[in-house]
């Protein structure tokens, strides 16, 4: 259950949440990549980021670590990436191809045989579609 109110001292990045006074609760940080979440501990709100390579799992309780490997997390249908279909044959790509994620500049997908595998660039780097690799943000057009 989410408690969102407008007048509280528990505000992180412009989002205000009324944390329950007792217990530990985790909430997804709306409008961000899947690796960020909000944590309420005994009424106090804080912002957290999962360790590199992990994402926030929506179904969690306060007793367990709220981050998990992406392959073990069910994402909303709108967030699922589909590998492109081959241009002339109608078959999936036969070789490995790299594609930017629509959700995060650090995230990209490797497609092999039509199956996407989510990957992350190291912290401080973003995926460059031009070179099909991770690069410094200043070297990526449009960043």
**From residue 89, how far is each of 81, 106, 111, 136 by CA, in Å?**
21, 31, 17, 36
> Looking at the structure, do residues 94 and 128 belong to the same domain, yes or no?
yes
Of 41-50, 76-85, 133-142, the range with the highest mean pLDDT is 41-50
In the chain, the number of structural domains is: 2
Say if 106 falls within a structural domain.
yes
pLDDT at 15: 58
Residues 6+ apart with CB under 8 A from 30: 15
Say if 6 falls within a structural domain.
no
> Looking at the structure, do residues 39 and 89 belong to the same domain, yes or no?
no
Burial profile 12-41: b = 16 or more Cβ within 10 angstroms, e = fewer: eeeeebbbeeeeebbbbbeeebbbbbbbbe
Say if 91 falls within a structural domain.
yes
* Residue of 84 and 15 predicted with greater confidence: 84
> Looking at the structure, do residues 88 and 127 belong to the same domain, yes or no?
yes
Q: Cα Rg for the chain, rounded, in angstroms?
A: 18
| Residue 12 scores a pLDDT above 60 | no
Q: What is the mean pLDDT of the chain?
A: 73
| Residue 17 scores a pLDDT above 80 | no
The whole model's pTM is what?
A: 0.44
Say if 23 falls within a structural domain.
yes
| Residue 51 scores a pLDDT above 70 | yes
Q: Quick one: pLDDT band at residue 131, thresholds 50, 70, 90?
A: very high
Query: Which domain range does residue 62 map to?
Result: 11-70
> Looking at the structure, do residues 28 and 62 belong to the same domain, yes or no?
yes
Q: What percentage of the chain has pLDDT greater than the value 90?
A: 3
């Amino acid at each position: 259950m989410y408690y969102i109110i407008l007048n509280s001292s528990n505000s992180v990045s412009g989002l205000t949440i009324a944390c329950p006074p007792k217990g530990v609760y985790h909430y997804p940080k709306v409008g961000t990549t899947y690796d960020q979440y909000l944590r309420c501990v005994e009424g106090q709100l804080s912002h957290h980021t999962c360790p590199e390579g992990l994402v926030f799992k929506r179904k969690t309780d306060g007793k367990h670590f709220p981050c998990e490997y992406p392959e073990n997390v069910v994402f909303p249908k709108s967030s699922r990436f589909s590998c492109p279909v081959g241009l002339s044959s109608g078959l999936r790509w036969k070789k490995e191809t790299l594609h930017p994620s629509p959700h995060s500049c650090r995230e990209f997908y490797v497609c092999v045989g039509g199956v996407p595998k989510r990957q992350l660039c190291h912290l401080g780097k973003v995926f460059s579609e031009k070179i099909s690799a991770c690069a410094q943000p200043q070297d990526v057009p449009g960043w």
